[in-house]
Structure 1
Amino acid sequence: MSATDITLLDDGGAVEAQLVFAGVDPAPYVSALSATLGVEPTETTSPGGAQGARFTTDYAWPGLLITTGFTEECLPECRHVTIVVEVPDLAGVPIRTVSGIGVGDTVDTARALGARPTPEIPLAAEPADPALFDSTAEPTRIVILDLDEDATTVAGLRANAWYYTFGNL
């Protein structure tokens, strides 16, 4: 998982499927992931959603949610995807950021792997442009690391096309 996409790798590290968070239909990725996991997601489509979406579709597995919102008038540009991860692995498939951060890691481990606080977020990782991670003038996309109540452990990972280092849209 990165700030711009989520990639499914085979046992040898080769790309099986990739889902970019902006402008891409998630259905092929969902199919590939379901085949790998041997489990189909619960799929729900409803009207409305973030960023003025006319419709929102959720693909949910225990601990993993892929949400896509879209407006028919401007597909594919207006399609957006949000990934929310609450488990370290799903059916034995580990879910990690590019640098190796996963749910259940300590904050110290996440920091050792490059996670840092931003002005708005206690801990973030995988900046799309590392040179802009600390910028107060230009944003860069990030993966948000949700922390447990004690702020000692990574309790979740979140990413979409609008999570930035400042503004946190």
Structure 2
Amino acid sequence: MTSERIGPPLRGDERETLRAFLDFHRATLALKCEGLTDEQLRRQASPPSTLSLLGLVRHMTEVERTWFRIVINGEAIGLVHSDSMDYQVAYDATGATRDEAFAAWEAEVAESRRIEEKAESLDVTAYNARWEEDVSLRLVMHHMIHEYARHNGHADLLREAVDGVTGV
């Protein structure tokens, strides 16, 4: 995945703007991880938290899969990193590598984009079993932007703790 960030259109329609903001935040997470070794990406830089940059990438893999493939597309599949649907497993990046984590994340992002692009509109709805409610693709897009923005804030602090880099 390219980590080049392209800002959202200043006068785009709703769907184009949501897509662009989501891709901006995806690229931000990738940028936060650039130039680091596997060891640095696995570093739990804010004890007692076990969170690491690689753990965030693995977590966002699960989030992409859940919202787009499981919820919107209705696929009966499990998570990438947990057989028991335990989202916390993804945060444990012990033994994980950049190549493995990014390959899984990029594959899920590609599937998410495919699913979103084939949807007729943002008004498409699907059942979210966890919430026991139907949700729209519009809500999912907004939720994903929120999820990435929140975790990119964590990534800011983790990256600074690993090697002092700020402002990426």
Q: Which has the higher contact order (CA 8 A, sep 6+)?
A: 2
- Give TM-score, length-normalised by structure 1: 0.22
Which structure carries more strand by proportion? Answer: 1
- Give TM-score, length-normalised by structure 2: 0.22
